[in-house]
Every structure is written in structure tokens, then in C-alpha cells.
Structure 1
Amino acid sequence: MNPTLSPSELIAHILSRYHDRHRQQLPELIRLARRVEQVHGGHDQCPNGLADHLQDMQQELEGHMLKEEQVLFPLLQRGMGRQASAPIQVMRLEHDQHGEALERLSLLTDDISAPEGACNTWRTLYRGLAEFREDLLQHIHLENDVLFVSALA
């Protein structure tokens, strides 16, 4: 990531690289998780409850991203970072909650490790989950440690 990007350029990157991406990823991950749970629910390593957990994550993330898109990012794009300290604090707290949700995801999926002999759907689900986790962690880091820090400077 280029450290010389303006706040507006950084926000545009976050929107296209992370917000849009999460909106693509989650519906498919939920669909795959439901299928794995339906077919393999009796398997001792089946991530039962994963689809519901992903659905909860999707709802939390969608609400969070809308607050950023409709309230926080417009303030930052207008150079009003200091006035945005309260919304930034709320976003940081929500980022911590997303981190807790990722921890639960790791618990449900044996740290996103498919069992020996897992079917293609299960392996595809876990590849997608690993990518989603990495994207979400990068997304949170970019906002917390780059965008918010520069906005409050």
C-alpha cells in the first residue's frame, strides 16, 4: 500500500478492495457453509453453526461498512478528521468485535483446517474463509493503523 495516498485515495481503495469484496465473499461463503453443514453435519469436524455465524458477521459488517460509507468517510474526505474522533472510536470498537468474530470462526473451523478427505465444497469453503479472514484483517489494519491515525494527526 502506497503510504503517500491522500485520505480520499485511501478511502477509494478501501471501498473497492475491501468493502465491495466482503459483499461478494460473504453470501457465497454462507451458501457453501450451509451446504457443508447439510451434507456433513454428522461428521465430528463439521463446522456446525458456521453458516449462522457467517450470517451474523455479514449483518455486523454491513452495518459497520454503511456507517463508514455514509458518516465517517465523508467527514474524512472533507478533512474533518479531528471532528471524527468519536465515530473513529466507535469503528475501532467494532473492529475489535470483528476480530472476536474471526476468533470464533477459527474455533468453529479448527483454524480453517479442512479434515483429511474433505469434499471439494468443504475445501472451497475453507479456501474462501482463509481469504476472507486475511482480507478482513488487512482491511481493519489499513483503517485503524493508516487511515484513522492520519485522520487524527
Structure 2
Amino acid sequence: MAEENFETGDAGASQTFPQQCSSLRKNGYVCMKNRACKIVEMSTSKTGKHGHAKVHLVGIDLFSGKKHEDICPSTHNMLVPHVKRKDYLLVEIENDGSLSLMEDDGHLKTDLNCPNNELGKEIKDRYENGEVLTLTVMTAMDEEQVVGYKLDNK
């Protein structure tokens, strides 16, 4: 019999859950083209001759920033990603751009890279100036990325 690990507590939960299209809201999350997206626009058409009102969704990919659109009958289900945000203390930025982040319990997380955008440039500049930063990491559908930072004024 294989040894089980119960420390995570997620019970192998799915990365998504179904939700009726009519109950989705702007600024919420939805899966479009198998990508986790934030809903930025939403409109509902009137019931047509076939009996379904249609919901037009426009979403921005959480990790690439690409725009996605979809139309779905309001009574049908769409998949919604489980999105988590967690803060980590920035310990070090390596020469190759990889990050060393510390969790609240003292464990090191070393599997993320600094973003290749304005946010990443700001983080590197502030780190090189000796500022203490807390980075916010967003996780959804087996992807994670640094999405923001705060200054620690201690």
C-alpha cells in the first residue's frame, strides 16, 4: 500500500469548478480557451427564438495579458479557475532572474522567475537599492506569477 501525504489538505481538488454563465460577474474569473482569465466586460442579449439568452464575455489572461472573448448561453455552465494569491518575502534575485522567496513559516520558494515587464524592472531596481519587498504571487491552473509587491517599512 502506498504511503499517503495529507499535509496539503487540498484532497487533490480540481483546478476549476463549474458555474452557471448567468451568475458570472465582471472582475470575476473564468476559463476561456483553457486559460485562466479575469472578466473585464460582460453583456447579456435578450432571449432569442430558441429560448436562451446569450452572455458575451471578454476576459484578460491572468498570466499573458492576452484578450479572449466567448459567447455562452446563460443557462450553461462555464469553468471557473481556483485563483489564489499569496505574499512572500523577497530574499534574493539571482543573476539569471530567478527569485528566492520566503514563506511565513520560513520555507524557501525558488521556482519562480522575476517578470519580464515593468513590474519586474521595478522589483529589481528596488531590490538593488536595498529595499525590503514582499511579493504577491498569483496561482491558477498550475501556473504562478509575481503580480505585485509591497514595501516593508520596518
* TM-score calculated relative to the size of structure 2: 0.23
More strand by share: 2
Higher relative contact order (CA 8 A, sep 6+): 1
Normalized per residue, the structure richer in helix is: 1
Superposition TM-score, scaled by structure 1 size: 0.23
- Greater Rg by CA: 2
